[in-house]
Amino acid sequence: MTTVIDGKQVAASVIDAVKTASQALTEQTGVKTGLAVVIVGNDPASHAYVSSKSKMAKECGFTSVQHTLPEETTQEELATLVQTLNRDESLHGILVQLPLPKHLNSEPIIQSILPEKDVDGLHVVNAGKLATGDLDGGLVSCTPAGAMVFVKRTHGEDLSGLNAVVIGRSNLFGKPMAQLLLAANATVTIAHSRTKDLPGVCRNADILVAAVGRPEMVKADWVKPGATVIDVGINRIAAPEKGEGKSRLVGDVAFQECAKVAAVITPVPGGVGPMTIAMLMANTVIAAYRKAGKTAPKF
Ligand code: GUN
């Protein structure tokens, strides 16, 4: 029997743990966890994401601050806002929603966020801590952290002897995911568009993680029987069967056929997606614990 991971359920359990941790911190120290979310411009999808992040922060009992800036915001104005948020003692996490409008350069903005408030895990200090295996000192990018919760709930904390293949080498996902798997003792391969015999490489994976942005690219004969398959892709494709002009979301994995071969698989939607916001809340409460000089909870 194949297990289909219910991402919403796992995310809800993480959120419960975040609420408990944030309450405990307030009781012990009087500190209320605070998250600032910054959005620039009018992209509707980004506005939807940011609203759910701000709403979830409130649900977790955090101070939740949202800065909505107009499309024509300058680099200097955005940089000044980040400096203000860096200095604000009531805020433990800062997230600048990406992508920024084209005239803005995101990299200097991200790198100007204090590493200890970088709840997106995108600062080079946090990327470096992850790369050196300092998992307890830095903050880990939310989507790989969420995918890793699934891996650990399936295989335990120690992945010794297991082969993991990550398809995709982005800074936002592929590289940090590979580092997390490596830190848990898996034998890790990072595959990408230039990999020779990608299906053959994937067939070697006990844990296969796909993050390429190509709808249903991973086929059943790429999957080792009994493997764990984590699908990080979110692709909108035409769905004429639902009516003219309709669309639907699919992952990077051909779910129906791969589910027949895998032992454990994540669906799209409802797999990794809900975990991203949950791990953002987790990172924020972790940052608040550290700021208060307390040992941070693990999620
Ligand atoms: N846009 C899409 N995903 C993300 C994310 O995880 N963090 C930020 N900052 N922007 C995003």
pLDDT per position in the chain (299 positions), as tens? 899 999 999 999 999 999 999 999 999 999 999 999 999 999 999 999 999 999 999 999 999 999 999 999 999 999 999 999 999 999 999 999 999 999 999 999 999 999 999 999 999 999 999 999 999 999 999 999 999 999 999 999 999 999 999 999 999 999 999 999 999 999 999 999 999 999 999 999 999 999 999 999 999 999 999 999 999 999 999 999 999 999 999 999 999 999 999 999 999 999 999 999 999 999 999 999 999 999 999 99
Catalytic residue among 19, 75, 83, 97: 97
> Across-strand partners of 210?
167, 231
Q: What would the pLDDT profile of 35-94 be if each residue is shown by its tens digit? A: 999 999 999 999 999 999 999 999 999 999 999 999 999 999 999 999 999 999 999 999
DSSP state of 97: -
How far apart (Å, rounded) are the C-alpha atoms in residues 238 and 243? 10
| Shared domain check, 257 and 155 | yes
Q: What would the pLDDT profile of 131-157 be if each residue is shown by its tens digit? A: 999 999 999 999 999 999 999 999 999
Which ligand 1 atom minimizes the distance to the CA of 99? 1
How far apart (Å, rounded) are the C-alpha atoms in residues 61 and 209? 33
How far apart (Å, rounded) are the C-alpha atoms in residues 76 and 287? 26
Measure 99 CA to ligand 1 centroid, in angstroms: 7
pLDDT at 93: 98
pLDDT at 97: 97
**Element containing residue 227 per DSSP (H, E):** none
Report yes or no on 13 lying in a domain: no
- What's the domain range around 286? 27-116+273-299
Catalytic residue among 118, 120, 231, 252: 120
| Shared domain check, 263 and 146 | yes
Give me the residue label for tokens 């003792």: 185
The CB of 118 under 6 Å from ligand 1? The reply is no
pLDDT at 108: 98
| Shared domain check, 108 and 58 | yes
The CB of 95 under 6 Å from ligand 1? The reply is yes
Question: Which tokens is 108 given?
Answer: 């200097």
The CB of 73 under 6 Å from ligand 1? The reply is no
pLDDT at 252: 98
Q: Where are the alpha helices (DSSP H) in the chain?
A: 7-29, 44-59, 75-87, 106-112, 124-131, 142-155, 174-183, 198-202, 255-259, 273-291
**Which backbone phi and psi does 282 adopt, to 5 degrees?**
-60, -45
Measure 277 CA to ligand 1 centroid, in angstroms: 10
| Shared domain check, 293 and 264 | no
Pocket test for ligand 1, best of 51, 66, 98 (most atoms within 8 A of CB): 98
| Shared domain check, 225 and 149 | yes
Is residue 97 annotated as a catalytic residue, yes or no? Answer: yes
- Looking at the chain, the number of H-run helices and the number of E-run strands are 10, 11
The CB of 234 under 6 Å from ligand 1? The reply is no
| Shared domain check, 185 and 107 | no
pLDDT at 24: 98
How far apart (Å, rounded) are the C-alpha atoms in residues 64 and 9? 24
CATH number at residue 223: 3.40.50.720
Name the nearest CA neighbour of 186 among 205, 167, 214: 205
Report yes or no on 22 lying in a domain: no
Report yes or no on 16 lying in a domain: no
Measure 245 CA to ligand 1 centroid, in angstroms: 28
**Domain count of the fold of the chain:** 2
207 within 8 A of 187, measured Cβ to Cβ: no
What is the crossing angle of helices 273-291 and 44-59, to 10°? 50
**Element containing residue 100 per DSSP (H, E):** none
Name the nearest CA neighbour of 281 among 128, 130, 89, 64: 64
Report yes or no on 19 lying in a domain: no
CATH number at residue 67: 3.40.50.10860
